[in-house]
Chain A
Amino acid sequence: MASSIANGGGGHDALRFYLAKTVQFILVLATTLLGLVAVTFFIGRIVPIDPVLAIVGDRAPPQVYARVREELGLDLPLIQQFWIYLKNAVTGDFGNSVLTTNPVMSDIIDTFPATFELATLGTLIGVFIGIPLGVLAAVKRGSLIDQVVRFLGLAGYSIPIFWLGLMGLLLFYAKLGWVAGPGRIDVTYSYLYTPVTGIVLIDTAMQGQWDAFWDAVSHIILPACLLGYFSLAYISRMTRSFMLNELAQEYVIAARVKGLSEFRVIWRHALRNAAVPLVTVIALSYANLLEGSVLTETVFAWPGLGQYITNSLRNADMNAVLGGTLAIGTAFVVLNLVSDLLYRLLDPRTR
């Protein structure tokens, strides 16, 4: 990075850094999205599924079939189809979804908040429980808590989320009745508020619909905990190994020799250094959840992006698939940028 070579003139330097960062971000975003569109587009055109079938069904007479094929532009050469798609996409027109009949953009605006809400809660749970657990496991290596953390991590990797989701529903919803069942909110509440952000918890709270809010809470809590568990399993495992690495460093010994309290040594010094690679881990796990965890969304009848894209893919609804892929791509690039910026904050060496 150019900015890191220069000495002195801190403010000026930071400005240059952010400027460079912005330009870089735009370039990365543009090339990533272009690459994504190209790959998805051409894969979509060579999959052995006839997209016309999704619209006209299997029974349509030949002239209807031919007309729809033409309407979709499928009779044009591939390159030309791609060019048309790009031209429209640049103006914000991603075409219409066949399955929902809506413009793809508005579908994504409808489904993404559901996924975002769930993924964010899940990640928060993962971070706030996973990091302390990981730290404790590293500090008390070989102790009971370490065994527990290692087991949780292992289980998180090996138990299918689908099964765990159903079991969770069976126990907490069907048997104990502690939480509400599948879905985002009860149908009786769903017309009490007007969607503004699309995030039910925020919308209901802002409009003072507390009954609806609590209903939404009791709907989201189980899937959020489930996703939280899987992100916790990953984050705690990684925290443990980063911390083990840091605790073996000389500066830790030096700090202890200086007589700093063990609390300070671990939470202020070691964790701070472990935090740098952890940011990447968290960003990755968050991005994973944002992609829409298809199985969780299916089990919990959660109308999110994962279900939307999978369903579209199965029906060769390529506009929807492309739109969804772009949304996920953007999320990845943005998260990447955020973790880059956090690096700079956390690690003085990168400044």
Chain B
Amino acid sequence: MKRLPKFLLSAAMIAAMATSFNAVQAATPPDTLVQAWQIDDIISLDPAEIFEFSASELAGNTYERLINYDVKDVSKIYGEVAESWTVSDDGKTYTFKIRQNKKFASGNPLTAEDVVFSLQRAVLLDKSPAFILGQFGFDKDNVKTKIKQTGPYEFTMEVDKPYAPTFVLYCLTSTVASVVDKKLVLQNEKDGDLGYAWLKTHYAGSGPFSIRDWKANEVVVLERNPNYEKKAPLARVIYRHIKETATQRLLLEKGDVDVARNLNPEELAALSKNPDIKIDSAPKGTVYYLGLNQKNPNLAKPEVRKALKYLVDYSAIADTIMKSKGEVHQAFLPKGYLGAVNENPYKLDVAKAKELLEKAGLKDGFTVTMDTRSTPEITGVAQAIQATFAQAGVKLEIIPGDNKQTLTKYRARQHDIYIGQWGSDYQDPNSNADTFAANDDNSDDAKAKPLAWRNAWDPGPLTAKTRAAVMERDAEKRAQMYEELQKAVMDDGPFVVFLQQIEVAAERKNVDGFVMGPSFDTNSVAQAKKN
């Protein structure tokens, strides 16, 4: 008899558990979009510091910039916070008019004062992305006189040289130029830090959503900003950090998340057969390339550089290992950029490569190493390249390493070949030209470390041409200059560009309007909804 109550208790517990397990089935709420995504790269929510993929996307959905571009046609620039702008005849002074009646999520009105403060603040804080503004001659000492408010809804910005207006404007579409709520930020200022310590983990913007919560390596919660003029259909967007891609797939198929962001090609192939799932993709401004260190005497020979370009099986890589995650692209400017070259002259041609190697005096091939990040994709690509190199007698030794580890070595120019990925910092061709085609100082202790420098390559006249392209005010002529630069690098440069990244998301069928743009900060949930 004494045992009975205990037995009853455990029976009750089991019953309760059984009912609760049935309740587990529930899908995500209709007004909430839940995404499974690797978000462990976020280190800050302050737009003056954000430079990582996931944080950029969050900023794109929660902050507004002065100007922006059409995600479908990057050449169309429009005012977001700005109503209009003019450029002075000498090309150095930009005057912006700000839209009236805009409000921050906090309720504070958005005026020219906030815009000026935001731009000045980014330069003053001088975090990683500050150079995007700094390249126009702004620094700590002059920024307060160069960017000035001239009326409640008007301000001017004076750049140091008559740059191509497209260059200046595209840079202002970057995350770093997001408009922050001056009043709110300054309320949280500590020891003159311009609110930096606070904004790192908080929010002060005017975008379609506001950031309610960020738990590192766990979750980010966005909530609809009621003050945004084109009210978002969703009340909430939740990004869950799910590191393991197979887990992302399970959650998606089960309906516990609406969007899975980091699936691999096999998982995508399997999901494409599931009628409840649809797959969406967009080419991104990131290219995959091999960097050939010119300190290696073999790689420094022009014939060898060219031979290796004929020893990559471009289409096989795009069709198998990187299926639905990349397409063949051989110029350093990604498709969709001003002046991008979209022809791909190289294909796997072992005979031609052998001929070139013989000319270089390497008839029997040579041995070379490649520093490779040990992710499944990059390793797979590296192995494919190893196989095709071998066909011409080039013995490729793969040195696996962690991301930061290989990068450290690359930045110290201690590699032979580095297999890398380069995403543009801003939506202007100069971002890539500056790193692939220009190198002002090739000495070991140079301050700037563009990709050309990292591969110890002196591009000769191309550096001057890159600098000139940035000043060309005629957009068409400017585009042509970039075409020439790309062709020169493609022909003789130490870069084997082989792929342009495609970003893929698998979504539940009822998700509508999640837009993937050409850059990471243009993946938008502003008008997404669930049917």
Binding site for B on A (CB under 8 A): 47-50, 53-64, 67, 97-102, 107, 110, 166, 169-170, 173-174, 177-183, 187-188, 190, 211, 214-215, 217-218, 298-301, 303, 307-308, 311, 314-316
Contact = CB atoms under 8 A, between A and B. Distances in A.
A303 B242 contact: no
Given A182-B242, A187-B238, A311 B448 contact: no
Given A101-B43, A170-B250, A54 B404 contact: yes
A48 B242 contact: no
B425 A59 contact: yes
Contact of A215 (B20, B243, B407): B20
User: Interface centre among B17, B200, B253, by most A CB within 10 Å?
Assistant: B17
A214 B20 contact: yes
Contacts of B24: 177-180, 215, 218
Contacts of A303: 215, 217-218, 241
A301 B24 CA distance: 17
A38 to B, nearest CB: 23
B17 A217 contact: yes
Contacts of B292: none
24 contacts: A49-B402, A53-B408, A54-B43, A54-B404, A56-B128, A57-B52, A64-B126, A64-B127, A64-B128, A67-B126, A99-B216, A100-B216, A101-B200, A180-B256, A181-B251, A182-B244, A214-B16, A218-B17, A298-B244, A299-B244, A301-B242, A303-B218, A303-B241, A314-B404
Interface of B: 16-17, 20-25, 29, 32, 34, 40, 43-44, 51-52, 126-131, 134, 200-201, 215-219, 221, 238, 240-244, 246-247, 250-251, 253-254, 256, 402-405, 407-409, 411, 425, 447-449
Nearest to B219: A187
Nearest to A169: B250
Given A57-B51, A181-B251, A182-B251, A218 B20 contact: yes
B272 to A, nearest CB: 18
B44 A101 contact: yes
A178 to B, nearest CB: 5
A169 B247 CA distance: 8
A62 B448 contact: yes
Contacts of A97: 216
A64 B128 CA distance: 7
Contacts of A301: 240-244, 247
A57 B251 CA distance: 31
Contacts of B34: 187
Nearest to A166: B246
Contacts of B407: 50, 53, 58
B240 A214 contact: no
B240 A99 contact: no
Contacts of A100: 43, 216-217
A314 B403 contact: yes
Contacts of A60: 51, 128, 131
A99 B43 contact: yes
Given A50-B408, A50-B411, A174 B253 contact: yes
B217 A308 contact: yes
B128 A188 contact: no
B217 A62 contact: no
A179 B21 contact: yes
B21 A62 contact: no
A316 B449 contact: no
B256 A181 contact: yes
A165 B320 CA distance: 28
B81 to A, nearest CB: 25
Contacts of B218: 303
A173 B241 CA distance: 19
Contact of B404 (A53, A169, A214, A298): A53
The 8 closest A-B pairs by CB, nearest first: A100-B216, A214-B20, A62-B447, A60-B128, A50-B408, A61-B131, A303-B218, A180-B24
A173 B247 CA distance: 11
A188 B29 contact: yes
B404 A299 contact: no
Contacts of B241: 301, 303
A55 B240 contact: no
A61 B448 contact: yes
Nearest to A98: B43
Contacts of A300: 247
Nearest to A54: B404
Nearest to A303: B218
A47 B401 CA distance: 12
Nearest to A114: B218
B135 to A, nearest CB: 9
A107 B253 CA distance: 32
